[in-house]
Structure 1
Amino acid sequence: MSEKEIAEIVRGYDIPAGPVSTALNRLADESGVRIVYDSRLTRFVRSRGLTGRHKLAEALAELLSGTGLHFELSANGKSALIVLAQAGDTRNDASAGGATPLPPIDIGHEQKENHGRGAGGSPQGPGDRYTGYKADSASSAMKMDTPLLKTPVAIQVVTRQTMDDQQAISVGDAIVVNVSGVQMTPNFYEAYKVRGFTNYASSYKNGLVEYRMRNLDTTNLQSIEVLKGPAAILYGRVEPGGLIDLVVKRPLETPYYSVQQQNGSFGMTRTTLDATGPLIADKSVLYRFNGEFYHSYSYRDFVKDQNVFLAPTLSFHPIEQFRLNIDFEYQHRTAVSDYPHLPAIGGYPAQIPISRYLQPPLLTTSSPVQFDKKRIAYDWTFAFDKNWSLTNRLSYMSSADSTTNSLALSVDQVTGDLRRSLTNTTSVGGGKEIDFATNVDLHGHFETGPLTHAALLGFDHLSTRMPMSNTIFRSLSSINIYAPNYWTLDNPLGAPLYVRQAQKWTGVYAQDLISFFDDSVHVLLGGRYDWAETSSNKNTSSYAGAMSTYTTDYNKAFSPRAGLVYQPLPWLSLYGNFTRSFGLNNTTSLGLPLPPQKGEQFEGGVKAELLDKRLIATFAFFDITKTNIATPDPANPLNTLVIGQARSQGVEIDLTGRIDDNWSVIANYTHDDVRTIQGAPSYNPSTLMTTQLAVAGYKLPASPRNYGNLWVKYEADGEFRGLSVGGGVSVVESSLGDNANSFILPGYTLLNGMIAYTTQIDRFTVTAQLNVKNATDTIYYPTSSNRTTIQTGAPRSVLGSLRVEF
């Protein structure tokens, strides 16, 4: 393509006001033009943004207007050099004048000397840590990069910089305090509540389900997107409260290397590595490697955890229209089981030290949890032209999980004797869990008269097979919670329970976002049809019985979604939606699959971009109902209870972004009433505490009515440039801890803080940082599921880090 042809291409842009470095790199991403600049030119310089359709020169001129910068296009039209305007120079910036120029920068030489870096020595553009707290779009909402103000759903994004500022190591650390309506819940797998409903079995990674998620880490994540409400139309089996999508880091064209060492309380040490750059000279093949070694003890006796995580990624971009990403992951974790066993005594959690271990350490330390995971995934996109593209994603994961754990069954309210049972689970014959997921999406933009369409047609498939597992259940000797005897020898042998499960899930879906009235009204219409198969064995007492009674249940359903957005002003949106979801229960009861879950939501709200689009605010009202909710039976670990129907109704407020060049903020508040509305048809009030039946009108466990979080960061300039100070507070109201509403989890307030300093040493960017969590050493209980499964919160902890980038 000739220089003239490149310069004459007209593209559509929607780049918000903000740091000029971020704006330039977004323009580079959208136009495919390489933009080169010295970071000293752009630090603390802001652009007023760019909207509409423009040629390249027009777009650059508009983006740089009023900044005192101008651009020079290279001879081939594929590179742009950004420099200070010289006195009287008005070639590409009418406002330029009187600026003192830096020495001229040669484009080819700059690529070796400056590496295209922006503020802080980090790379700019996709994968950059310095992306601030505000995201402009999120692909999980629509499976398209639609601006958040045009999407008729609530979605929150936790950026890489948020994770780094708070030193959030786990996914839970990253989302619980930074997103409204999200809480932890006790489970053997990593489970979160979104809008009051727990997703026990799965999260998503780059848009594909990762079944039975566990041990999730932020090492290779660029952002985390939390999509609120049922998203069944695009993703199939999801909880009506919402889903969590993990977005991994992508390779960069600019070489970049980072090594970080973290050390903290309880003997924690963590080493991470991030390296990226091109593999060949024309930059059509890129790589990125993220790795972690983590080791820590715990505030609880006997517990320790060690994790090795390696995640290389390759990107291929041989032609402008095609890009392929291939992701690999390897994880090996060894840990002493720390499943919560704190019981309730009377109407509150037992008043014992939170460091007390109530599992059998002779067994759990000699046979720790062993988890191995290998995952390979790819995604590619081919653009037929500027309006139509095809995307295919695929992931394959093999994992093995061996656990030795105990379940707390009941506690004597007078003596404090805790009755327990041992569970030891291994696969029969060394088999592994195999998870396969794929989807194909066709995106298109077209017009019909005054209507502009953003259409999506898609297909997806999930297949997961768990090997025959052998779980031993055996009663253990009781342990007294006030004076534990850890040296009682228990026979770990017992009657085995054989379980074999699998599922297949296939769906087709379509949606259309229709815009009209000068792009101020957006109507979303869509639907999905699913075919699901769930297989399990009815006879669990023997291997032969498990094999001979293996049966499959079949389900199918249609899930619609409709939404409306009205933008009376470019920075303000009013939205509403109606959605339904369909999802199979993620468990069985005595070997039999539970009936499928269904959800329905009505939602309405307001979104606004404030302070020159630096800050985004969302207010949402939601009303969700869900049927056939699975809940553990504390009286029988082999059984699962099913609630007829529950309802979550409330409001959420989120505020995220930058107030000015120095101050950034994340604030959220949730008011949510979560309770059973159709429960047990009959029950005995005197035995409700032990049976844990769900009763109409009772609150669901650990569902506080009000809770909120605030995090504020100040970045100094002038003589103290490089210094950052931040602090946060989390306030959670008291809640009821079990289905019987028989005890209270007290409310609590947590204080967190950070201080960091970044400086240049030769060609290295060095950042020293210190974070304090739960600074007041508050004793608190963040969640529970019944009277013997209460999770304790970590006491005061200190985490220091040193990061070197070059």
Structure 2
Amino acid sequence: MIIPHALRTCRALSLCCIWLFAASIQATEDTDLFEMSLDELLTVTLSGSAVRDLNLETTPVSANPFNLSALALPFSVDVIERKTMRARGLTSVTSAVDNLVGVISGESPAEPSSFAMRGFIRDSVSVVRDGIKLGPASMTMRPHNTFNLQQIEVIKGPAALQFGQGTASGVINMITRKPQLNAPLNSEAFVSQSKFDTREWGVGLHLPVTSNSAARLDVNKAQSDGWVNNTPSHSLNATASILWQASPTLSWLLSFDYLEDDLPAYWGTPLVPGHAALDPISDIVTTANDRVLDNRTRYLNYNVADSRSDSEHLWSRLRTDWQPSDTLSLSNTLFHFKADRAWQNAESYVFNPATELIDRDRFFVFHDHTFYGNQFAGVYRHQLGTMAHQLAFGAELKVTDFSRERGFPDGDSVSLLTPIAGQFGALDKHLSPTDIRQWGLYINNTLSVTEHWRLFGGLRRDHIRLVRDNYDVSGNFIADESFERTFTPLAYQLGSTYQFSDTLSVYAHWSTGHDPVGSNIYLVNASENFDFTDIRQYEVGIKTLLNTWQSEFTLAWYDITRRNILLLTSHETVGNSGTHVAHGVELAITSQPTEYFRLGGNVAYTDASYESFVDPDFGVNASGHTPPNVPEIVANAWFSWDKIGGLPLELGAGIRHVSDRYGNFQNSVTFTRYETVTLFAAYQFEHTRLNLNVRNLLNEAYVPWADIFYPAQAAIAAPRTIELSLHINY
């Protein structure tokens, strides 16, 4: 049952969106979108971009081998472009994706980029970089900036056969910037400064080399002292690529993507009994055992002094595009990835009533991750009688060598109010190498039955060979916990769109998919009897553009079932959890009532639950419970007003509402609903944009994400911050 406050918020936002939709239909003024030259597109023309379009007329890159517009695709696809991310001050991928329909995110150092959408969390959301999936996001993903990106695309549900096993709630694809032929020399610089000595800079260069070649380089550096004591962090991301058009039908793109980072050492603030909290923080969390957060501990860090959460990654890719004829297009991507990651922390902080101290654990894990392979794809276009037909096909080979060293040294206890950091201690390592050899084949096709009616269909077969070895601290092989296994999942989908006009489309889509055990194939042991889960999704929706008020509107209903789940419940344990179901409604709209005023919003309602689930750690029957980190209502609304007083001045604001969410599978910890307000002001010169962003304007104390492994603590969001930034482009 939706809580009254969330229901009122949902109703208000829904009525606002419906009003905008109706008003745009009734409006008589028709203002065409202006067209921009290539030179204009390459300069800082961000004014009026903070309220983004829904991009229904654009051609998404993800899961779209047929180069169709988003309006013509039979599933939900959400695109946020670079210009919107820069205009609104969205400097991280998590903050950018939070603005899309029904998405929430977290940056727990244990799982640096975690997402929830459509009732599913963590590794049920696949995160990919330029269309290549590394593995389970909770093990391989890091926080990413937006400076090096051209756009972010979100495909909802198991609708994307190109990315391997279809995850239950969808795919988030980060698309890096690439060189373009015939584009002029262009350079840009970005610098920002905000509270807690948080600063960022970026430089970009687009360089024409010859008439048939070009290069691009983007470098971004971010660092902060952190809003919690002793939690500095930094990241450096550099992307470089060279494009060579060898002939009118053949091109090569060589690209590199380097990331080095060290994450904040903040793993959360401990929950304490009500009697021990002399300054309780109200309206953040409620628990079954009446524990609360104490404001006196808000900025304290309970980690060790020599904590680590760092990594170093390097992608290398070579893509070839060849069009041997007017009807056939081929592409091939050869890639290699290498990463080293390290965690060494006191992660768990549990208040001990007997001693009134905080009991801390120790956990360390080191990753040595090598991943390489090849992706081949093609599209064949021809006529079946009078009907246009496109057949997309692909094959891929991927090899993963993943070595994981981990251990659980003895913990200790520290004072609640004056914790002494101390040192981590000895590193007695258990080695667990994982070797995965995988190949996959898929076909997709679309048939234009009539001018307005289009059918879609596809299937994918994967063959996955998993070898998992385990060793004790002395380096002895543990045969009972080591094993080999082969998986051969088969996924398929059907879809249909009917375009009543060039601006109105309805669609239906049915898809299936499979996830590995707990969605994380890197953590299973021989004693665990598991197989891939079965996922099924139904989706129907409407997409429309309106010339009046330049409005765009989408509405989608979905129903997802995930059966035979084996769910990760601790660092080393996997247990059966039966069936997970979710259904909901998603609505989004943007509109431009006047030449300089834009507004938009979205709202998502989600009803998700486990039909059967027994927590093997505590024996708690959670059947009928809601999954953690899944709110019933997520809503966003925003506006921007440009050319204020005839000046190149733009003002804008956004509000975000997230309803109550549970912090564990037992639903005994509830993080209460919150609203955050963001303001921005920008002054646009010819080649320069000066931005002022105020985040969390109301200084709301809230928990954006629950780490399910640490229900005795909560990671509180950053307080109000003011950021000043400068973006120069020539």
TM range (shorter): 0.7 to 0.9
CA separation of 1:645 and 1:539: change in aligned 2, threshold 3 A? farther
The match for 1:325 among 243, 250, 253 is 253
Q: Given that residues 180 and 653 in structure 1 are in contact (C-alpha distance below 8 angstroms), is that contact kept between their aligned partners in structure 2?
A: no
CA separation of 1:755 and 1:336: change in aligned 2, threshold 3 A? closer
CA separation of 1:517 and 1:116: change in aligned 2, threshold 3 A? closer
Q: Residue 712 of structure 1 corresponds to which residue in structure 2?
A: 639
Distance in 2 between residues matched to 1:415 and 1:673, nearest whole Å: 41
Distance in 2 between residues matched to 1:439 and 1:308, nearest whole Å: 28
CA separation of 1:644 and 1:358: change in aligned 2, threshold 3 A? farther
- Name the SS for the 1:543 alignment partner: coil
1:164 equivalent in alignment to 2:86: yes
1:801 equivalent in alignment to 2:728: no
1:395 equivalent in alignment to 2:335: yes
1:234: how far off?
2.3
Q: Residue 430 of structure 2 corresponds to which residue in structure 1?
A: 497
Q: Residue 204 of structure 2 corresponds to which residue in structure 1?
A: 274
5+ residue gaps, structure 1, are: 1-44, 50-62, 64-81, 83-114
CA separation of 1:522 and 1:191: change in aligned 2, threshold 3 A? same
Q: Residue 501 of structure 2 corresponds to which residue in structure 1?
A: 569
Q: Residue 53 of structure 2 corresponds to which residue in structure 1?
A: 133
Q: Given that residues 541 and 556 in structure 2 are in contact (C-alpha distance below 8 angstroms), is that contact kept between their aligned partners in structure 1?
A: yes
2:553 is aligned with what amino acid?
A
Q: Given that residues 141 and 151 in structure 1 are in contact (C-alpha distance below 8 angstroms), is that contact kept between their aligned partners in structure 2?
A: no
CA separation of 1:344 and 1:509: change in aligned 2, threshold 3 A? farther
Deviations 1:684-706 (A, max 9, x none): xxxx9x72745210111121111
Give aligned pairs, total.
Answer: 669
Q: Residue 649 of structure 1 corresponds to which residue in structure 2?
A: 583
Q: Residue 59 of structure 1 corresponds to which residue in structure 2?
A: none
Q: Given that residues 431 and 472 in structure 2 are in contact (C-alpha distance below 8 angstroms), is that contact kept between their aligned partners in structure 1?
A: yes
1:464 is aligned with what amino acid?
T
1:558 equivalent in alignment to 2:490: yes
Distance in 1 between residues matched to 2:718 and 2:96, nearest whole Å: 15
1:198 equivalent in alignment to 2:112: no
1:801: how far off?
0.5
Looking at CA atoms only, which structure, 1 or 2, has the larger radius of gyration?
1
- Name the SS for the 2:96 alignment partner: helix
1:261 equivalent in alignment to 2:183: no
Q: Residue 603 of structure 2 corresponds to which residue in structure 1?
A: 669
Residues 788-797 or 162-171, more deviating: 788-797
The match for 1:696 among 623, 626, 640 is 623
Distance in 2 between residues matched to 1:165 and 1:412, nearest whole Å: 47
The match for 1:471 among 406, 412, 415 is 406
Q: Residue 281 of structure 2 corresponds to which residue in structure 1?
A: none
CA separation of 1:513 and 1:182: change in aligned 2, threshold 3 A? farther
1:223-372 to 2 correspondences below 5 Å: 223-231=151-159, 233-252=161-180, 253-280=183-210, 282=211, 284-340=212-268, 342-343=270-271, 346-347=287-288, 350-353=292-295, 355-364=298-307, 368-372=308-312
1:758 is aligned with what amino acid?
Q
1:352 is aligned with what amino acid?
D
Q: Residue 514 of structure 1 corresponds to which residue in structure 2?
A: 447
1:709: how far off?
0.6
Q: Given that residues 415 and 480 in structure 1 are in contact (C-alpha distance below 8 angstroms), is that contact kept between their aligned partners in structure 2?
A: no
5+ residue gaps, structure 2, are: 1-29, 274-286
1:184 equivalent in alignment to 2:112: no
CA separation of 1:275 and 1:657: change in aligned 2, threshold 3 A? farther
- Name the SS for the 2:651 alignment partner: strand
1:512: how far off?
1.0
Q: Given that residues 269 and 296 in structure 1 are in contact (C-alpha distance below 8 angstroms), is that contact kept between their aligned partners in structure 2?
A: yes
1:529-608 to 2 correspondences below 5 Å: 529-545=461-477, 550-585=482-517, 586=520, 587-589=522-524, 594-608=530-544
1:161: how far off?
1.4
Runs of 4 or more consecutive aligned structure 1 residues displaced over 6 Å after TM superposition:
none
1:453: how far off?
1.2
1:485 equivalent in alignment to 2:431: no
Q: Residue 18 of structure 2 corresponds to which residue in structure 1?
A: none
CA separation of 1:275 and 1:670: change in aligned 2, threshold 3 A? same
Q: Given that residues 239 and 255 in structure 2 are in contact (C-alpha distance below 8 angstroms), is that contact kept between their aligned partners in structure 1?
A: yes
The match for 2:712 among 768, 788, 801 is 788
1:148: how far off?
1.2
Distance in 1 between residues matched to 2:169 and 2:265, nearest whole Å: 29
Distance in 2 between residues matched to 1:545 and 1:192, nearest whole Å: 36
Q: Residue 458 of structure 1 corresponds to which residue in structure 2?
A: 394
1:526 is aligned with what amino acid?
G
Q: Given that residues 208 and 437 in structure 1 are in contact (C-alpha distance below 8 angstroms), is that contact kept between their aligned partners in structure 2?
A: no
- Name the SS for the 2:611 alignment partner: strand
1:559 is aligned with what amino acid?
A
Distance in 1 between residues matched to 2:245 and 2:548, nearest whole Å: 35
Distance in 2 between residues matched to 1:230 and 1:435, nearest whole Å: 23
Distance in 1 between residues matched to 2:428 and 2:462, nearest whole Å: 39
CA separation of 1:120 and 1:363: change in aligned 2, threshold 3 A? closer
Q: Given that residues 611 and 659 in structure 1 are in contact (C-alpha distance below 8 angstroms), is that contact kept between their aligned partners in structure 2?
A: no
- Name the SS for the 1:161 alignment partner: helix
Distance in 2 between residues matched to 1:728 and 1:737, nearest whole Å: 26
1:122: how far off?
4.5
Q: Residue 117 of structure 1 corresponds to which residue in structure 2?
A: 39
CA separation of 1:637 and 1:531: change in aligned 2, threshold 3 A? closer
CA separation of 1:338 and 1:463: change in aligned 2, threshold 3 A? farther
Q: Given that residues 299 and 355 in structure 1 are in contact (C-alpha distance below 8 angstroms), is that contact kept between their aligned partners in structure 2?
A: no
Instruction: Quote the RMSD (CA, aligned, Å).
Output: 2.9
Deviations 1:532-555 (A, max 9, x none): 122212454442215896432111
Q: Given that residues 32 and 550 in structure 2 are in contact (C-alpha distance below 8 angstroms), is that contact kept between their aligned partners in structure 1?
A: no
- Name the SS for the 1:711 alignment partner: strand
Q: Residue 699 of structure 2 corresponds to which residue in structure 1?
A: 777
2:203 is aligned with what amino acid?
L
Distance in 2 between residues matched to 1:133 and 1:188, nearest whole Å: 31
1:75-94 to 2 correspondences below 5 Å: none
1:437: how far off?
3.9
Percent sequence identity is 17
CA separation of 1:661 and 1:474: change in aligned 2, threshold 3 A? same
1:623-642 to 2 correspondences below 5 Å: 623-629=559-565, 631-633=567-569, 637-642=571-576
Q: Given that residues 372 and 399 in structure 1 are in contact (C-alpha distance below 8 angstroms), is that contact kept between their aligned partners in structure 2?
A: yes
2:721 is aligned with what amino acid?
S
Deviations 1:301-339 (A, max 9, x none): 110111222111111113222222221122222344333
1:250: how far off?
1.5
Deviations 1:372-400 (A, max 9, x none): 11111132221223332111123211111
2:445 is aligned with what amino acid?
D
Distance in 1 between residues matched to 2:541 and 2:251, nearest whole Å: 36
1:717: how far off?
7.0
Higher RCO, 1 or 2 (CA under 8 Å, sep at least 6)? 2
1:461: how far off?
2.5
CA separation of 1:279 and 1:692: change in aligned 2, threshold 3 A? farther
